[in-house]
Amino acid sequence: MGRKHSERTRFNGNSIRLIKLINLSIMTAHRKLFETTEKGNTYFWEVVVNERYDDQLQNDKSDGYFEGYNVTDGEDFHVEGGLWFKDKVLVDYDGVFCLPKEVENTLKEMGFDTSEL
């Protein structure tokens, strides 16, 4: 006859998985996938923002990323970078010299302010 595990043992065995699920439920994620066409080429874009509330600072401190690439000829164009926000205002980005207009417009559609750029 096999040994029965207590509820506590089963919980401890899955606690890491449970903690990950709890953390995901606290964070709000905005994600937009879209395509654009320019000069006969089709570009695929992904913009993701993870909103978090920082209790100690009493503000929203969010981050995210963007990625775009040419699906007509994948080696022709590829761009990606990071995004950082404070209280729904884009305060910094990385990966490109100038934020692509497609990403900036998408962030505005998602309700984020890009005027600080």
**Per-residue model confidence as pLDDT tens digits over 29-82:** 788 888 888 888 888 999 999 887 655 555 567 889 999 988 887 666 788 999
The burial of 44, by beta-carbon neighbours within 10 Å (0-12 exposed, 13-18 middle, 19 or more buried), is given as middle
- Please write the tens of the pLDDT for every residue from 78-95: 889 999 988 889 999 999
The tokens of 85 are what? 């926000």
Using pLDDT thresholds of 50, 70 and 90, give the confidence band for residue 25: very low
CA atoms within 13 A on the CB side of 49: 27
- 84 vs 47: CA distance, rounded Å: 12
Torsion angles phi and psi, residue 56, rounded to 5:
-70, -40
Lowest mean pLDDT, pick from 8-12, 26-30, 34-38: 8-12
- Distances in Å between the Cα of 73 and the Cα atoms of 30, 42, 46 are 28, 9, 17
Is 51 within 8 Å of 62 (Cβ atoms)? yes
- Please write the tens of the pLDDT for every residue from 93-113: 999 999 999 999 999 999 999
- 85 vs 93: CA distance, rounded Å: 9
Is 81 within 8 Å of 102 (Cβ atoms)? no
